[in-house]
Amino acid sequence: MNSFSGRRRLTVAALTALAVTVTATACSSGSGSGTAKGADGDTYTIWDPYPQFDKSSAWVKLLDQCGARAGVKVKRTGFDTSDLGNKALLAAQQGNSPDLLVVDNPVVSTLAEAGVLTTTEENKVDTSKVDPNLLAAGQSGGKTYGTPIGANALALFYNKKVLKEAGVDIASVKDWKSLTAALEKAKKAGKKGITFSAIGTEEGSFQFLPWFWGSGAKLTELDSPQAVSALSLWKDWLKNGYAPNSVLNNTQTTSWQEFASGDYAFIENGTWQLAGAKKAGLDYGVLPVPGVNGGNAAAPTGGEFVTTPVQKDTGRYATSQKLATCLTSADNIYNTDTTLSYVAPTSEVQAKQVAANAELKPWVDAVKAAKGRTSGDLGTKYPKISEQMWKAVQSALSGSKSPQDALSAAQSAVK
């Protein structure tokens, strides 16, 4: 008996939400094509958001190895991240979903609510070792719809040379007040303070969230006093010249280019810039984003989930489960996350990563404190909230509205 048939419907809400949900983490351009199903039952299809990897890459070789272990061939297609969710919805409508779908974590709940994905309980994928805060990004309605292949998060890179010239001891930077004091010293020393991305897209919301959550604010109340304090922090940085006006148009890539010039004390950015930091020859350190009164603020989790779409032929799930388990095994996750510059989703493999590279310790700490953007059953509500958030940030930083008025308008729009 097909336990999945007739139970799921593609919803208009999910289609609408997916239209405005785009990745905010490191991404590469590219395209993919082809139908989801292979020519025969011995071919299993996998779609992923890594078009930058070709057949010679470690990732594609891993897919082939997992296929061989499961006794099947793997047909893999890499799509641009921003296209993958919509292509997955279309394939589901046509009854032609891939066997495995590796998808950006905020899209998981949208696809789940649209009826595209099976649960880990149904497809028997073990998620018991995954850190709960990371797994939450793939949960909706009390059910889990995949397992993370890795995670990245935001933190503060700092330029040791700039801080030394400004007379700043990085150990003194523990909260918003001490961070702002460090920015002031950098400016007085003739250097630049901090750069980040406040662009009017999901990327801007992604970068604002650590400060928003670090204030104690909640996504269900955008105009709370805590939220206003977070936006006021950014606004004051621009007003005092501690951050450049370019943040209004900066992506995470262009802000990184500013930091790589060597003039800035700090930048908010992610694990995907580690290779770039080494390439730039910067003497840098990494600090988790501080909360308003200290401690590590929750940054939004980036990274992808391995999910199993609904199939008409439920006999395929057993092999799909073998493939998913292989891709997310401890050994394979370690190698894959090294390739992707991700932090592993389990404490066991995180410890192995830090043992091999001590520089990953602050990133592991940041991921430990991170939260999924769709956690707390926000699901398809998140894209609408996020859109109003980035609009509020733009309004406040450009000077068209006060932080309070900008966030009050955002909350009214969400309601």
Please give the structure tokens belonging to residue 222: 């955008």
Please give the structure tokens belonging to residue 232: 């006021």
Angstrom distance (rounded) from CA 265 to CA 185: 10
Whether 223 maps to a domain, the answer reads yes
**Containing domain of residue 292, as a range?**
154-299+378-414
Q: Which amino acid is at 348?
A: E
Whether 209 maps to a domain, the answer reads yes
**Band of the pLDDT at 365, cuts 50, 70, 90?**
very high
Angstrom distance (rounded) from CA 25 to CA 207: 10
CB 271 within 8 A of CB 341: yes
- Residue-level pLDDT at 277: 87
Considering the domain architecture, whether residues 178 and 202 belong to the same structural domain is answered as yes
In this prediction the pTM is 0.84
Q: Provide mean pLDDT across the span 48-75.
A: 94
Considering the domain architecture, whether residues 186 and 330 belong to the same structural domain is answered as no
Please give the structure tokens belonging to residue 411: 């909350």
The domain that contains 352 carries what CATH number?
A: 3.40.190.10
Considering the domain architecture, whether residues 274 and 159 belong to the same structural domain is answered as yes
* In the predicted structure, residue 224 carries a pLDDT above the cut 80: yes
Angstrom distance (rounded) from CA 185 to CA 187: 5
Angstrom distance (rounded) from CA 267 to CA 278: 15
Considering the domain architecture, whether residues 273 and 358 belong to the same structural domain is answered as no
- Residue-level pLDDT at 95: 93
pLDDT tens-place string over residues 102-113: 999 999 998 999
71 three-state secondary structure:
coil
C-alpha closest to that of 345 among 321, 367, 369: 367
| Separation in Å, CA 287 to CA 76, 153, 280, 296, 379 | 37, 12, 19, 9, 30
Angstrom distance (rounded) from CA 186 to CA 209: 25
Q: Where are the beta strands (DSSP E) in 207-293?
A: 264-270, 284-287
pLDDT tens-place string over residues 100-151: 999 999 999 989 999 999 999 998 999 999 999 999 999 988 999 999 999 9
Q: Provide mean pLDDT across the span 272-286.
A: 89
Q: Provide mean pLDDT across the span 205-234.
A: 97
